[in-house]
Amino acid sequence: MLNNSIQVKGLQKSYKKLHVLKGVDFEVEKGSIFALLGSNGAGKTTIVKILTTLLKQDSGTASVNGFDVAAKPDDVRQSISLTGQFAAVDEILTGRENLIMIARLRHLKDPHQVTDDLLNRFGLTDAADRGVSTYSGGMRRRLDIAMSLVGKPQIIFLDEPTNGLDPEARIEVWKTVKELANNGTTVLLTTQYLDEAEQLADRIAILHEGKIIANGTLAELKKLFPPAKVEYIEKQPSLEEIFLAIVGKKEEK
Amino acid sequence: METIKNYFFSDMGVMLERSMRHIFRSMDTIITTTIMPIALMLLFVYVFGGAIQTGTDNYVNYLLPGILLITIANSIGYVSFRLFTDVQRGIFERFHSMPIARSAALWGHVLTSLVSNTISVVVIILVALVMGFRSPAGVLSWLAVAGILALFSLALTWIAAIAGLSAKSLDGAIAIAYPIHLLPLISSAFVPTATMPLAVRVFAENQPVTSIIETIRALLSGQPVGNDIWIALAWCVGIMLVAYVFAMRVYKKRV
């Protein structure tokens, strides 16, 4: 029990007549990456909003870092941070000002030092004093994630972190997420991309029509399917592989 | 819980600093809330002023109270705009999932509106002084003027908050500003209401802005304020309280 950062039991939520969550159960182990996989409208964002205290469930219980989200929202907020579906960065401020703002709101002792470290870690030092409105999508997302890491929260929620990013930026985000987990942070991420869940997650739960219909490691999920057949097929490179190969070569020069 | 309350004011200070940066980096906001009222004042004093009979020896003295209210009214669309974009871009969600007092984000916007209006009003009074504005008012009268302007500003800010928090689109959020811009135009801001046709005069004399302008005019010219000050206060406080209740209701629903 103590090893679980997140525990969800019988979670239900309706918006007016729309029954979005119909009894969701899952647990996330401390320090692991947990992927909530589902198509658009499956209820992934609703789960994230309930777990980050932005929304109240109709029934069922959820606890984050040992605190009940409904009863002790303030304790939950101390332990988490949220990177929402769209990069929640202040467009008019610079990257540095965005980070300092969050560091001050987290009441850290040395906001400037924390900011410098994060800018450096996310490769944003050169762009630090430029307005965020001039950033590319990938830089914006990186800043967004950096803002979520201010104050070293134990649990991080990433709601579709690579939505709308180009393939290179996507791989950058993946790298960041893996590093987080290596440092002991628990990560819950939602995604509609199967390869993303496959790449990142220790455990994958598939959310479909308001219920978790499968939950396990990639190996376990694979076992749910009939055993692999050996077939000879010609393996064509995917367009993504071609794109990355060409762009990669250009950058090496 | 304890610690979160202790940080309420410092959190609000961070919010204030943030939105003040938004204002100082937006040429559009500066033009509408400071340059435009100054231009209007120049236009009315030096172009139309000679032909306007107000019964005062100095038209800028007559005009200033109205210009101050126009200045505050002009800033209101921007309050809605800033709130709307914060909700839309997910900035509020980020703040609300952090261990800070929930209302700090909203109050930060209200405080910003008050502080930025104070800056504009001070700038415009300085320009008016250069243009020949003189007042025999003492410290108490000036404080009363500041108090009424602050109440007027808060009343409009909470109306703007309702619009900014509940609007479905950016156009909807800032549409609230137009009827508010109209009120000072149909009031005693530029000319005495006595010369207006009956229907317009009845509206002008009984809408909130005229009583506020008359009160400030009386305070600044050292005349007795009469009943106008009570009518002005009733309007400001009444609108502020009703708008506050509705804005809070929308805010709680939205976040």
pLDDT at B218 over 70: yes
Q: Is B201 on the interface with A (CB under 8 A)?
A: no
> In this complex, how many residue pairs, one in chain A and one in chain B, have their CB atoms less than 8 Å apart?
60
Q: For the whole model, what pTM was predicted?
A: 0.86
pLDDT surpassing 80 at residue B61: yes
CA atoms within 13 A on the CB side of A82: 28
The mean pLDDT of B142-148, rounded to a whole number, is: 96
Amino acid at A170: R
Chain B contacts of A155, Cβ < 8 Å? Answer: none
Low-confidence winner among A161-165, A213-217, B109-113, B176-180 (lowest mean pLDDT): A161-165
| Residue scoring higher pLDDT (A51 or B254) | A51
Per-residue confidence (pLDDT) for residue B120, from 0 to 100: 96
Asked if pLDDT for residue A25 goes beyond 70, the answer is yes
**Contact (CB<8Å) B93/A54:** yes
* CA nearest to B8 within chain A: A105
Segment of A223-232, B117-126, B221-230 carrying the highest mean pLDDT: B117-126
Q: Does A86 touch chain B (CB under 8 A)?
A: yes
**Which of A82, A97, A107 is facing B93, going by the closest CB pair?**
A82
Instruction: Name every chain A residue with its beta carbon within 8 A of the beta carbon of B96.
Output: 53-54
Whether the pLDDT of residue B18 is over 60: the answer is: yes
* A82 min Cα distance to partner chain B (Å): 7
Q: What CA–CA distance (Å, rounded) separates B93 from B83?
A: 12
Q: Is the pLDDT of residue B176 over 90?
A: no
Q: What is the pLDDT of residue A28?
A: 94
For residue B233, pLDDT over 70 is answered with: yes
Map out the domains of chain B as residue ranges: 2-254
Q: Which two tokens stand for residue A248?
A: 């990669």
pLDDT at B1: 44
- At residue B154, the pLDDT reads 97
pLDDT per position as a tens digit, B151-161: 999 999 999 99
Confidence of residue A1 (pLDDT cuts 50, 70, 90): very low
Work out the average pLDDT over A225-249: 78
User: In the prediction, which pLDDT does A150 show?
Assistant: 93
- Mean pLDDT of the B59-87 span: 94
For residue A47, pLDDT over 90 is answered with yes
Contacts 24+ apart (CB under 8 A), B3-12: B4/A74, B4/B99, B4/B100, B4/B101, B5/B101, B7/A107, B7/B100, B7/B101, B8/B101, B8/B104, B10/A104, B10/A107, B11/A105, B11/B100, B11/B101, B11/B104, B11/B108, B12/B104, B12/B107, B12/B108, B12/B111
- pLDDT at residue A249 tops 80: no
Q: DSSP per residue over chain B, as a string?
A: -HHHHHTHHHHHHHHHHHHHHHHHT-HHHHIIIIIHHHHHHHHIIIIIGGG---SSS-HHHHHHHHHHHHHHHHHHHHHHHHHHHHHHTTHHHHHHTSSS-TTHHHHHHHHHHHHHHHHHHHHHHHHHHHTT------HHHHHHHHHHHHHHHHHHHHHHHHHHHH-SSHHHHHHTHHHHHHHHHTTTTTS-GGGS-HHHHHHHHHSHHHHHHHHHHHHHTT---TTHHHHHHHHHHHHHHHHHHHHHHHHHHH-
Instruction: Give yes or no for B18 touching A (CB within 8 A).
Output: yes
CB contacts, 8 Å: B21 with chain A: 92-93, 97
pLDDT band of A2, cuts 50, 70, 90? low
CA B127 to chain A, closest CA, distance in angstroms equals 30
Amino acid at B153: S
* ipTM score: 0.86
Partner-chain residue, chosen from A77, A101, A131, that has the shortest CB–CB distance to B99: A77
| B21-25 average pLDDT score | 94
> Which pLDDT score, from 0 to 100, does residue B4 have?
56
Q: What is the mean pLDDT of residues A229-247?
A: 80
Cβ neighbours of B95 in A, within 8 Å? 105
Inspect the interface and report whether the beta carbons of A93 and B90 lie closer than 8 Å. Answer: no
Q: What is the pLDDT of residue A251?
A: 61
The tens digit of pLDDT for each residue in A71-81 reads 999 999 999 99
- Most A-contacting residue of B97, B109, B255 (CB-CB within 10 A), to test interface: B97
Q: How confident is the model at residue A86 (pLDDT cuts 50, 70, 90)?
A: confident
Mutate to test the interface with B, among A92, A135, A143, A149 (most CBs of B within 10 A): A92
**Scanning every residue of chain B, which has its alpha carbon at the shortest distance from the alpha carbon of A104?**
B14
Q: Is B94 within 8 Å of A104 when comparing Cβ atoms?
A: no
So what's the pLDDT on residue A40?
82
Give the per-residue pLDDT at A63: 94
Q: What integer best gives the mean pLDDT of chain A?
A: 89
- Selected for mutation to probe chain A from B27, B98, B100 (highest A CB count within 10 Å) is B98
Q: Check if B26 contacts A (Cβ < 8 Å).
A: yes
pLDDT average, residue stretch B128-133: 94
Cβ–Cβ gap B98/A106 under 8 Å: yes
Q: What is the mean pLDDT of residues A125-138?
A: 93
pLDDT at B108: 93
